[in-house]
Each structure stands twice: as structure tokens, then as C-alpha cells.
């Protein structure tokens, strides 16, 4: 019995790859070898669409499968050859008749594991996890301007003054794996806006300084 379990949501990717010919499988390995650190999943999907002449759906399924392999490697203490054997055994235990489990496919999985381990994709995915493994991830923000009249005079019916107020509305998700969205609103005035603007400008200066100090490294960000 295999020591690993293949998640149901990535089985389709293994099935699709098992139907590819040798040239298509080689192109997958070549793509993984050519991509740069910081390449997003979307760019990888686009590469597969272009180079393998496959649909966006199929490309996404294969990318998801490759990402699951990266996780498998990182969570295992075994050598790649051992992982490949266990993966092949696990695929056999699924009992999916649409997956062709021949020696060529087993060889490809071994090569895919090796290529994924040394691919810039592995570094990129680690960076993405570091970015997202935080609490209260911001989804969107909005500042709502509110003009409040101040009444006075006869029967307090005359507008004597106005106040300009602002509401900073932040929508966020508690964690990367959370499907819920929360919203919090902060009441601000013009002084608060200026202080917030100054803080953002200081953060931008620090970000620029860090980038200039680490030019030998690729800066990875999600947005």
C-alpha cells in the first residue's frame, strides 16, 4: 500500500498527463526548466496552452497537479526515486481506468519530480506561501467621503456649517484558506488621512530601499 494519498482534486491532472505523447511530456519538462523565479500560476497555464495546444481547463488541471507534486516533495524526507515509486503505486490504487500506468509514464513522473524539485517554480511557490501565510489578508479598500451639515438658527433648521468626514472601509479574509470575507470601517478626518498618507509614503521609500539593496534577488509579489 502506498504511503501517500492523492487528493481527488488533482487526479484529473495525472489523468491528462498520462494521455500525452512523449513530445508533449518533454515540453512540460522544458517549460519548467525555462520559467523564471516569480512566474505566476497564470503565466504557467498560458505557457501550457501555447506550447501544448491544450485548453485552459486542461492546463489548469495539469498545473494544479504539478503544484501538488511540489508539496509532496517538500513534505517528504525520502529521495525523489522513492517518492516517484510511491506516487506511481498510489495512482494504481486509485483504480482510475483513464490513467494509463505504463513504464513511460512512470519514467516521466520520476523526471517531473526531479524537475519540479529544482525548478524556479518551487522557490516561487514557497514565496507565495510566505506572502499568504498571514492573518487578515487585505482584499480591497475604499474611502467613503461623508459631508455632515451642522444646523442652527431658527428651530435648528438652517445650515450653519459643514464637516467633512471619511470612512476607511477594509475588506479582508482572516487567513489564506478562509472562504469568509470580513469588513471593518475606521472613522477618519483630514488629519487622519494625511497621517495615513505619510505612513504609506514612508513604506514605499523603505520598499524601494530594500529592492535596491537586494538587486541580486528576484522580488516576488502577488499583485
Q: Are 36 and 99 part of one and the same domain?
A: yes
How far apart are the C-alpha atoms of 199 and 177, rounded to whole Å? 29
What's the pLDDT score for residue 59?
A: 92
51 and 113 in a single domain? The answer is: yes
Examine the domain organization and report whether 98 and 191 are in the same domain.
no
- Does the residue 3 lie in any domain? no
Q: Is residue 1 included in any domain, yes or no?
A: no
DSSP 25-63: HHHHHHHHHHPPTT--HHHHHHHHHHHH---HHHHHHHH
**What is the C-alpha to C-alpha distance for residues 43 and 65, in angstroms, rounded to an integer?**
16
What percent of the chain is modeled with pLDDT above 90?
24
Q: What is the pTM of this model?
A: 0.63
87-135 confidence digits (pLDDT tens): 888 888 888 888 888 889 889 888 888 887 767 777 776 766 666 667 8
What is the predicted pLDDT for the residue at 141?
A: 93
* 99 and 21 co-located in one domain: yes
* Same-domain check for residues 112 and 144: no
Any domain includes 211: no
Give the CA radius of gyration of the chain.
26
Would you say residue 45 lies in a domain? Answer: yes
CA angle 121, 122, 128 (to 5 degrees): 85
**Is the same domain home to 122 and 143?**
no
What confidence score (pLDDT) does residue 169 get? 95
Residues 149 and 122 in one domain: no
Would you say residue 84 lies in a domain?
yes
What digits encode the pLDDT tens for the residues 191-221?
Answer: 999 999 999 999 889 888 877 877 776 666 6
Q: What integer best gives the mean pLDDT of the chain?
A: 84
Residues spanned by the domain of 148 = 137-197
Point out the domain boundary residue: 112, 132, 152. Answer: 132
Q: Of the candidates 91, 113, 132, which is a domain's last residue? A: 132
Residue 207 lies in a domain: no
Domain shared by 142 and 125, yes or no = no
pLDDT at 155: 80
pLDDT tens for 12-37 read 999 999 999 999 999 998 988 887 87
Is the domain of 71 the same as that of 91?
yes
The predicted structure's pLDDT at residue 194? 93
Number of domains forming the structure of the chain: 2
15 with 85, same domain? yes
Same domain, 149 and 113: no
The whole-number pLDDT of residue 207 equals 81
**Residue with more model confidence, 111 or 157:** 111
The pLDDT, as a whole number, for residue 220 is 62
Q: Are 121 and 48 a contacting pair, CB within 8 Å?
A: no
Residues 47 and 61 in one domain: yes
- Asked whether residue 204 is domain-assigned, the answer is no
Amino acid at each position: 500500500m502506498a504511503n501517500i494519498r492523492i487528493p481527488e482534486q488533482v487526479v484529473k491532472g495525472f489523468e491528462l498527463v498520462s494521455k500525452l505523447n512523449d513530445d508533449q511530456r518533454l515540453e512540460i519538462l522544458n517549460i519548467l526548466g525555462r520559467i523564471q523565479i516569480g512566474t505566476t500560476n497564470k503565466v504557467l497555464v498560458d505557457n501550457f496552452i501555447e506550447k501544448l495546444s491544450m485548453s485552459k481547463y486542461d492546463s489548469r488541471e495539469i498545473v494544479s497537479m504539478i503544484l501538488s507534486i511540489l508539496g509532496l516533495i517538500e513534505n517528504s524526507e525520502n529521495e525523489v526515486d522513492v517518492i516517484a515509486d510511491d506516487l506511481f503505486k498510489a495512482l494504481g490504487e486509485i483504480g482510475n481506468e483513464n490513467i494509463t500506468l505504463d513504464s513511460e509514464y512512470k519514467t516521466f513522473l520520476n523526471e517531473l519530480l526531479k524537475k519540479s524539485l529544482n525548478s524556479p517554480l518551487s522557490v516561487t511557490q514557497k514565496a507565495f506561501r510566505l506572502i499568504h501565510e498571514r492573518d487578515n489578508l487585505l482584499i480591497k479598500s475604499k474611502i467613503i467621503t461623508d459631508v455632515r451639515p451642522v444646523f442652527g438658527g431658527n428651530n435648528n433648521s438652517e445650515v450653519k456649517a459643514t464637516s467633512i468626514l471619511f470612512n476607511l472601509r477594509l475588506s479582508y479574509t482572516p487567513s489564506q484558506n478562509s472562504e469568509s470575507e470580513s469588513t471593518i470601517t475606521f472613522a477618519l478626518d483630514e488629519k487622519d488621512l494625511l497621517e495615513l498618507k505619510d505612513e504609506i509614503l514612508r513604506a514605499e521609500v523603505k520598499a524601494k530601499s530594500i529592492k535596491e539593496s537586494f538587486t541580486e534577488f528576484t522580488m516576488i509579489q502577488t499583485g
